[in-house]
C-alpha cells in the first residue's frame, strides 16, 4: 500500500496524518503537545480509537520515531517502505522557495540558511526532514510546503516595512506571515461552507493556537496578515511577545547585558502568554486560573484586545469584512474566548448565538442571522492541504 505521511511540526507541538495515496483517505493521525516539557503527551488515533500517553520531555526526533513504530505495531504499514512520500509544513521559505519543493541534500542546506526567518519553527521542521531522510528509504521524496508562499503576492503596501527600500530588496525583508497553509485552506473551506465564490469573500481568518495569526483576504488572495518578517510579530502568543517597539531590543540588551540573539530568544521563547502570566503558555491553563490570578487575567485580556485590534483594522482595510472565521486549537475549542472577542466586535454589528458557539462540533456558523458580519468556526486541516500539494509535486 502506498501512503503519504504529513508532518506538521510547530513551536510546541507536532501533528501528523497518514493518507492513502490513491484518494487521500485518512488512515491514522496523531498529535504531540507541550513538546520538551514535563507535561508532554503523545496521542495516536486509528479506526475511531484514541490512545493518549504522557511522555515527559518528549523531543521531536523521539516523537517521529515513536509514531513510525506505532504505525507498524498497529499494522497500518508493514514497513517504512509503505510510505512513498512525506509532506512537511515549513514556515519560512522567504522568497527563495516560492512553491512546494522536494528537499534533497543540496537544497536542504539552502533551507537551513532560512532559519533566521523563523527561529522557533524552521530548525525543528528541518530536523524532522533530516530525521525522516535517515529513517526512510533514500528514494522517498521529502516535500516541503511553505506557509510563506501564500503571502508572497500580498500588496507591497502591507508587506513592506518603513525601511530604506534597498534593504528590503537586498535582504528579503518583508512580511512573510505564518500559517499560510491553514489560512489558504480556511479561505476555500469558508467559501465552500457558505456556497459562495472565494472572490466574493472579504474574510478575516483567525488561526489561534500556541502560535496565532490573523489574515485578511479579498478576491481570493491575502491582503494583510498579523505576523511579519518572522512569526514573532502580531498578537501575544504562547511564548512570543507579539508586536512591540523595536527599541525594546537594544534597551534590554543594555539593561540585562545580553546579546541581540539572547533578547530575540527571550522574546520568542519566554514572553507572550507565558511571560505575562507566569503560569503557562497554554491558553487552557490561563482560562482555568485567570479568575484567581491577576497576571493570568492580564495575559488573557491582552490577547483578546490585540486580536480585536487586528480584526477592526482589517475590517476597515477590506472596506467592510463580510465573514470572520475562527480556526486552530484555541479558535476551534475555546468557546469562551470566541465569545469574548465577538463581544468587543458588537460595535461592528457582530452578534453570536451562544448555543451555537458553545455546542456542536465541526464547521458551523456561530453568529445570529441578523449579525452584520457572519462568524464561523471551521476546523483547519493543514495536513490534508499539504497532502494535496505533495500529490501535485512528486
37-45: long-range pairs with CB below 8 Å, 24+: 37/12, 42/66, 44/70, 44/74
Q: Is the pLDDT of residue 44 over 80?
A: yes
Sign of CA dihedral 11, 26, 133, 66: positive
pTM: 0.88
Q: Start-end ranges of CATH 3.30.420.40 in the chain?
A: 3-151, 196-377
26 membership: H or E segment, kind and range:
strand 26-33
Q: Give the DSSP per-residue string, 300-359.
A: HHHHHHHHHHHHHHHHHHTTS-SEEEEEHHHHHH-HHHHHHHHHHTGGGT--B-HHHHHS
Three-state DSSP class for 5?
strand
Rounded CA separation 285/73 (Å): 34
pLDDT computed for residue 158 by the predictor? 96
For 22, the grid coordinates are: 490513491
pLDDT tens-digit profile of 80-107?
889 999 999 998 888 889 999 999 988 9
Annotation: binding site for Mg(2+): 8, 382
pLDDT computed for residue 49 by the predictor? 87
Q: Is the pLDDT of residue 394 over 90?
A: no
Options 104, 109, 115, 147, the catalytic residue: 147
CATH class of 3-151: alpha beta
Confidence of residue 157 (pLDDT cuts 50, 70, 90): very high
Segment among 299-303, 360-364, 365-369 with least mean pLDDT: 360-364
More confident call, 199 vs 116: 199
CATH code for 196-377?
Answer: 3.30.420.40
pLDDT tens-digit profile of 1-38?
799 999 988 767 888 999 999 899 999 999 998 888 89
Average pLDDT over every residue of 312-333: 97
- 200 classed as catalytic: no
Annotation: binding site for ATP: 15, 207-211, 282-284, 329-333
Confidence of residue 110 (pLDDT cuts 50, 70, 90): very high
Mean pLDDT (the chain) is: 93
What percentage of the chain has pLDDT greater than the value 90?
75
202 membership: H or E segment, kind and range:
strand 202-207
Q: Are strands 49-54 and 83-90 parallel, antiparallel or unpaired?
A: unpaired
Average pLDDT over every residue of 323-331: 96
Amino acid at each position: 500500500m502506498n501512503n503519504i505521511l504529513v508532518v506538521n511540526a510547530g513551536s510546541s507541538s507536532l501533528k501528523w496524518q497518514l493518507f492513502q495515496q490513491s484518494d487521500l483517505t485518512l488512515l491514522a493521525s496523531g498529535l504531540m503537545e507541550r513538546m520538551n516539557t514535563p507535561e508532554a503527551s503523545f496521542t495516536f488515533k486509528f479506526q475511531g480509537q484514541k490512545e493518549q500517553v504522557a511522555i515527559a520531555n518528549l523531543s521531536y526526533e523521539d516523537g517521529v520515531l515513536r509514531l513510525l513504530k506505532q504505525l507498524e505495531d498497529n499494522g497500518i504499514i508493514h514497513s517504512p517502505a509503505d510510505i512513498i512520500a512525506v509532506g512537511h509544513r515549513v514556515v519560512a521559505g522567504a522568497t527563495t522557495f516560492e512553491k512546494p519543493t522536494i528537499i534533497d541534500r543540496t537544497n536542504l542546506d539552502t533551507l537551513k540558511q532560512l532559519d533566521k526567518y523563523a527561529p522557533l519553527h524552521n530548525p525543528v521542521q528541518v530536523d524532522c526532514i533530516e530525521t525522516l531522510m535517515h529513517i526512510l528509504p533514500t528514494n522517498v521524496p521529502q516535500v516541503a510546503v511553505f506557509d510563506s508562499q501564500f503571502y508572497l503576492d500580498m500588496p507591497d503596501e502591507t508587506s513592506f516595512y518603513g525601511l530604506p527600500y534597498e534593504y528590503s530588496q537586498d535582504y528579503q525583508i518583508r512580511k512573510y506571515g505564518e500559517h499560510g497553509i491553514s489560512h489558504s485552506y480556511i479561505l476555500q473551506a469558508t467559501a465552500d461552507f457558505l456556497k459562495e465564490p472565494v472572490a466574493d469573500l472579504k474574510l478575516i481568518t483567525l488561526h489561534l493556537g500556541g502560535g496565532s495569526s490573523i489574515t485578511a483576504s479579498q478576491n481570493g488572495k491575502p491582503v494583510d496578515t498579523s505576523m511579519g518578517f518572522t512569526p514573532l510579530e502580531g498578537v501575544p502568543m504562547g511564548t512570543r511577545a507579539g508586536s512591540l517597539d523595536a527599541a525594546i531590543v537594544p534597551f534590554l540588551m543594555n539593561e540585562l547585558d545580553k546579546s541581540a540573539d539572547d533578547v530575540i530568544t527571550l522574546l520568542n521563547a519566554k514572553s507572550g502568554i507565558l511571560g505575562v502570566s507566569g503560569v503557562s503558555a497554554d491558553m487552557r491553563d490561563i482560562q482555568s486560573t485567570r479568575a484567581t490570578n491577576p497576571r493570568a487575567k492580564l495575559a488573557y485580556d491582552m490577547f483578546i484586545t490585540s486580536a480585536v485590534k487586528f480584526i477592526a483594522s482589517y475590517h476597515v482595510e477590506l472596506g467592510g469584512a463580510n465573514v470572520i472565521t475562527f480556526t486552530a486549537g484555541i479558535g476551534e475549542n475555546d468557546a469562551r474566548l470566541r465569545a469574548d472577542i465577538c463581544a468587543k466586535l458588537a460595535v461592528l454589528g457582530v452578534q453570536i448565538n451562544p448555543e451555537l458557539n458553545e455546542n456542536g462540533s465541526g464547521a458551523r456558523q456561530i453568529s445570529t442571522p441578523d449579525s452584520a458580519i457572519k462568524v464561523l468556526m471551521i476546523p483547519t486541516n493543514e495536513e490534508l492541504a499539504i497532502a494535496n500539494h505533495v500529490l501535485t509535486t512528486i
